[in-house]
Chains A and B, each alone.
Chain A
Amino acid sequence: MSLKIIKAGVLDTIQDLGRYGNQRLGINPGGAMDKFAMQTANTLVGNNLSEAVIELHFPASVFLFSQPALIALSGADFSASINGEPVANLHVIAVNKNDALQFHRPVNGARAYLAVYGGFEIEKWLGSGSTNLKIKAGGFHGRRLNKSDELPFKCRNDFSALLNKKEFRVLPWLADTSFPDDSKEILVLPGNEWDRLTVTSKEMFASTPFVVTKQSDRMGYRLGNNPLSTVSTEELVSSAVGFGTIQLLPDGKLIVLMADHQTTGGYPRIGHVITAHHSRLAQLKTGDGIWFRLTDQQTAEELLLKQNQHLLQLQNACTFRLQQYLQKHGY
């Protein structure tokens, strides 16, 4: 029971919710860039929210399944197909032996997720299956997936009875991930050095769009912007930074730290993208605009809570549907 990479993507890695408790040693948490999408994929196939999945960047790998399996896709829409037939995100798909899953073009978003029922059989490092590329640890041998890699599944169930000789089957329900708030705005809490910005720069931050430049990856996004100015340039001794921390570089440009961020830094922290909007941030690609707006602690916490409640509801609904379906088919 496994899937095999028959053509390698540009950067496909095993990721989960991240590796916590080791930042005091300089070991960053890593984990999926879009944790909401990653968890959604897990809910569909009945996994724990924290189960490791494959994070895909475009161009993504081509996968071949060795046995029938249950899978789900979420996050970015890379126009997926199985054996050439289009399949949509946010469904459970029963795939058959020798089915090929591939991705044709980036329609929207930057990172897609592939979960399998039961999860992948991988070795954890410091409690997490996430791939840390810098130190070559965790995930699949601490590296991105290459051609001919074979990822075994934990689950040994034979799902062939679901397929009835069909090539593959899309199960008849959809995870509803839509929110009432569909704006592109990214909410930001002011950072400790927010007041270093001049009045004009503060206004500029909240009123002009910023652009994600080519120098953007899992570590951070460099933003294209007119340089912001400060009233103070006092040097900072290094202290902790996090996913979503917006740092002001000496040239007045901004960098937003992402999943593979360093644990500590010494640049002014002018803001922090709220956790509930990390998912939105993670789906931006080179050339996309970012509209920041300041918010307060209360709002940030409430939005995060709402997002987590939404996930739990999804999990309940999806688990119920899947169990019912499997029971009906004799599992």
Chain B
Amino acid sequence: MKYPIIPYRIFPLGDSALTIDFGNVIDEDVNNCVFASFHQLKQHSLPGIIELIPAYSSLTVCYDVTAFKKKAHNGKTVFESVKEWVEEKLHEQFSFNEKTPAEIKIPVCYAAEFAPDIEQLARTKGLSTEEVIEIHTSKSYKVYMLGFLPGFAYMGEVDERIAMPRKQQPQNILPGSVGIAGKQTGIYPFASPGGWQIIGRTPLKMFDIENENPTLLQAGQTVQFYSISKNEFENY
């Protein structure tokens, strides 16, 4: 596939970063374009570019103002200089064929004590909890991005029949909790306040600081959930 394929807009994110915005959407093609652009800019990175942060439909470039200011004497702001560099690199035709990591199967226990919101979700959607589990495990999901917390994978998209907005009041959520927010599904690697509808819990360690690659999931990966019993969870 040749990139870029989607028009974008660049805006400053404060004075030390800019965001390339490909549209406010959750969409596989747009997300592929984000990661293709991520690799293109990474490959041609400059001194003074601190890091690149891909998200659903945007790519953020963090830069060191002082490092760029030293080079520029043309009266341009550093934002303008970095923006021009981004535009130049994204104007080139580039391809992106990185191997997608293998699909990963994730065990989830959907038992009530691990799933504080599953009953309410089922009731709201006119389903039984078994049907919610059946629908959640019936398809695989794409990891669109990691963000929010270390190793938190934003995945999508869940079937409309189990899609449900975030809760108004954030609750304390335990590590391993599997949740739904709109058509997104995700796993909390750490305890955190959060508004996602929690429908189960995985015994897997989603983030391991001892590991060189600390996150279990990577952006672009495909995830398939499968249901395990409470007994299996406890002996996992």
Contact = CB atoms under 8 A, between A and B. Distances in A.
Contact of A301 (B26, B78, B151): B78
A275 B151 contact: no
Given A192-B11, A272-B14, A301-B15, A264 B209 contact: no
A237 B26 contact: yes
Contacts of B145: 238, 264
A265 interface: yes
A105 interface: no
B154 interface: yes
B53 interface: yes
B202 interface: no
Interface residues of A, number: 47
Contacts of A235: 182
Contacts of B17: 240, 242
A21 B51 contact: yes
Given A21-B51, A134-B190, A237-B55, A192 B19 contact: yes
Interface stretch (B60-68, B86-94, B125-133): B60-68
A305 B209 contact: no
Interface stretch (A23-31, A111-119, A201-209): A23-31
A269 B13 contact: yes
A38 B124 CA distance: 52
B149 A238 contact: no
A111 B184 CA distance: 39
24 contacts: A20-B51, A23-B51, A23-B147, A24-B51, A25-B214, A26-B148, A134-B149, A135-B190, A192-B13, A237-B55, A237-B57, A238-B148, A238-B154, A239-B57, A240-B53, A242-B16, A242-B17, A242-B62, A264-B55, A265-B148, A274-B15, A297-B79, A300-B14, A301-B65
B186 to A, nearest CB: 10
A297 B15 contact: yes
A248 to B, nearest CB: 15
Interface string A245-280: 100001000000000001111000100111100000
Interface string A1-40: 0000000000000000000111111111000000000000
A189 B53 contact: no
A236 B146 contact: no
Interface string B48-77: 001111111110101001100100000001
A181 interface: no
A242 B13 contact: yes
B148 to A, nearest CB: 5
A322 interface: no
B77 A237 contact: no
Nearest to B66: A308
A164 interface: no
Interface in B132-186: 145-152, 154, 168, 182
Contacts of A28: 150
A24 to B, nearest CB: 5
A21 B13 CA distance: 17
Contacts of B154: 238
Given A25-B150, A25-B214, 8 more contacts: A26-B147, A125-B209, A134-B149, A238-B147, A300-B15, A301-B65, A304-B65, A305-B69
Nearest to B149: A26
B147 A244 contact: no
A24 B62 CA distance: 12
B69 to A, nearest CB: 5
A151 to B, nearest CB: 20
B181 to A, nearest CB: 9
Contacts of B57: 237, 239
Nearest to B191: A134
Contact of B219 (A24, A137, A242): A24
Contacts of B12: 189, 272, 297
Given A135-B190, A242-B14, A275 B58 contact: no
Interface string A132-174: 1011110000100000000000000000000000000000000
A84 to B, nearest CB: 41
Contacts of B21: 192, 239
A310 to B, nearest CB: 12
B226 interface: no
Contact of B15 (A125, A134, A265, A272): A272
Given A237-B25, A239-B57, A275-B15, A21 B50 contact: yes
A298 interface: yes
B96 interface: no
A279 to B, nearest CB: 14
A125 B57 CA distance: 30
Contact of A262 (B13, B66, B69, B148): B148
A134 B78 CA distance: 33
Contact of B146 (A24, A125, A132, A298): A24
B24 interface: yes
**Top 3 closest pairs, chain A to chain B, by CB:** A272-B14, A264-B147, A240-B60
B174 to A, nearest CB: 14
B221 interface: no
Nearest to A125: B209
A256 to B, nearest CB: 12
